[in-house]
Amino acid sequence: MIRALLFDFGGVVVDTEVAHYRSWQAIYSEHGADLSVADWLPAIGSGSSTSGRPFDAVTHLERLIGRAVDRED
């Protein structure tokens, strides 16, 4: 018998936004670029940082460095 059910709606129980942002900062740094908080803000709460809406971190990185990157990496 199920006695309780727990839902975590993107940061309610566990705040993963900071870790997600810092991991992208590290990726940008590997390519010699910076990811500012201002640029990252549209990704917060969107559920994805590579979906193209409202923020695509890979496309943004490619614009900053002037070349394509391997999305699989």
CA distance 12 to 27: 26
Question: What integer pLDDT is reported at residue 1 of this predicted model?
Answer: 86
* Higher per-residue pLDDT: 10 or 67: 67
Question: What integer pLDDT is reported at residue 2 of this predicted model?
Answer: 86
Nearest CA-CA partner of 45 in 4, 7, 8, 1: 8
Confidence of residue 17 (pLDDT cuts 50, 70, 90): confident
Q: What is the pLDDT of residues 19-72, one digit of tens each?
A: 889 999 999 999 999 999 999 988 887 766 766 567 889 999 999 999 999 988
